[in-house]
């Protein structure tokens, strides 16, 4: 099985660990462990994928990770992500390598599996789909309209943030925990989905920039990720340009302009010194807070 997929999930998990405290804080009216559960579940996924390296196809490894998540996953979103991994396995059936161009099927599978989970709250009801649906569908639309993977992920991440924040605007909130009304609070499941897309974006941004410069990859898995899986893919309608999935250095430069306030993107076109407080200035991934959402 592809080492690229394992290394990708390992980096995503590391980035999610930076969001642990924020997600726990959003879960303050519940058990306060949404971030702990999210990190633990993705550690389980990564560990299982690592155990299946070199032992078959990508879909076999994803099914093993799904089974592990059903067996030892934590929190209410564990079975949802397990269903997502199963659907992604179906969409990537027979593949023995994993490249940047396969991210669309991975995310599409995650979304489809979560949507088909019995009892899951639908978009607009205050739940995980409020962050996942706008994020993944916007990513796919942007990719099919010709944007690079990084640019499309940026669009998807911003859409997922708006969707997650929208759960705080719903009249009834996202449910009741004991006597604590959650009206006006961001749903931690939706926030977790947004953090997942942000962590994926951060991973590709950091490692893709090195690949675009021709620098050695951090791991052999990332070398495969940015070099593999492209020959068998066809460009999407609208001239998506799968042959250059990262958009080249020019595309990355435009993306950095959006990230740091130069292009009317993430920070609404404001000068860099007017970025939101606590964004860290050089941190490419703003974090989701109650009052800190794009």
Return the domain boundaries, the chain. 3-265
SS3 at position 292: strand
What local confidence, expressed as pLDDT, does residue 175 receive? 63
Dihedral sign of CA atoms 120, 126, 131, 137 in order = positive
Return d(Cα 50, Cα 244) in angstroms, integer.
28
Cα distances (angstroms) measured from residue 15 to each of 179, 242, 247, 276: 33, 26, 23, 20
**Under CATH, which architecture does the 3-265 domain have?**
Alpha Horseshoe (1.25)
Q: How far is CA 136 from the centre of its chain?
A: 8
Burial 202-212 (b: 16+ CB within 10 A, else e): bbbbebbbebb
pLDDT of the chain along its 294 residues, tens only?
679 999 999 999 999 999 999 999 999 878 899 999 999 999 999 999 999 998 889 999 999 999 999 999 999 999 999 999 999 999 999 999 999 999 999 999 999 999 999 999 999 988 999 999 999 999 999 999 999 999 999 999 999 999 999 999 876 666 666 566 777 889 999 999 999 999 999 999 888 766 666 667 778 888 888 874 443 334 344 333 333 444 432 333 344 344 434 333 322 333 333 333 333 334 444 444 333 332
Closest Cα to residue 162, out of 142, 184, 188, 134?
A: 134
Q: Position of tokens 């490692």?
A: 207
Say if CB 4 and CB 221 are below 8 A apart: yes
What local confidence, expressed as pLDDT, does residue 119 receive? 92
Return d(Cα 60, Cα 85) in angstroms, integer.
10
**Structure tokens belonging to residue 284:** 């490419």
What local confidence, expressed as pLDDT, does residue 6 receive? 96
SS3 at position 289: strand
Return d(Cα 224, Cα 7) in angstroms, integer.
10
CB within 8 A of 280, min separation 6: which ones? Answer: none
Backbone angles phi, psi at 177, to 5 degrees: -115, 105
What local confidence, expressed as pLDDT, does residue 250 receive? 34
Q: How far is CA 24 from the centre of its chain?
A: 18
What local confidence, expressed as pLDDT, does residue 1 receive? 65
Radius of gyration of the chain (CA): 18
DSSP assignment of 136-188: HHHHHHHHHTT--HHHHHHHHHHHHHHHHHHGGGSTTTT-EETTEE-TTS--H
């Amino acid at each position: 099985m592809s080492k690229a997929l394992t290394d990708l999930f390992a980096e995503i998990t590391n980035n999610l660990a930076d969001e642990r405290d924020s997600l726990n804080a959003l879960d303050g009216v519940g058990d306060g462990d949404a971030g702990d559960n999210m990190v633990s579940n993705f550690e389980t996924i990564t560990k299982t994928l690592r155990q299946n390296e070199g032992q078959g196809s990508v879909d076999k490894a994803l099914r093993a990770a799904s089974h592990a998540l059903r067996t030892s996953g934590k929190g209410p979103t564990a079975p949802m992500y397990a269903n997502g991994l199963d659907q992604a396995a179906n969409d990537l059936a027979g593949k023995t390598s994993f490249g940047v161009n396969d991210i669309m099927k991975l995310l599409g599978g995650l979304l489809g599996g979560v949507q088909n989970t019995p009892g899951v709250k639908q978009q607009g009801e205050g739940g995980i789909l409020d962050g996942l649906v706008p994020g993944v569908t916007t990513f796919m639309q942007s990719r099919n309209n010709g944007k690079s993977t990084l640019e499309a992920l940026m669009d998807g991440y911003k859409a997922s943030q708006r969707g997650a924040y929208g759960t705080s605007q719903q009249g009834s909130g996202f449910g009741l925990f004991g006597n604590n009304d959650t009206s006006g609070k961001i749903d931690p499941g939706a926030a977790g989905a947004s953090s997942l897309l942000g962590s994926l974006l951060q991973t590709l941004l950091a490692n893709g920039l090195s690949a675009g410069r021709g620098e050695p990859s951090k791991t052999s898995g990332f070398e495969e990720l940015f070099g593999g899986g492209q020959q068998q893919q066809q460009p999407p309608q609208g001239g998506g340009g799968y042959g250059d999935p990262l958009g080249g250095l020019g595309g990355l430069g435009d993306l950095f302009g959006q990230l740091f306030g130069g292009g009317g993107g993430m920070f609404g076109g404001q000068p860099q010194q007017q970025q939101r407080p606590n964004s860290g200035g050089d941190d490419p991934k703003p974090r989701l807070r109650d009052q800190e959402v794009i």
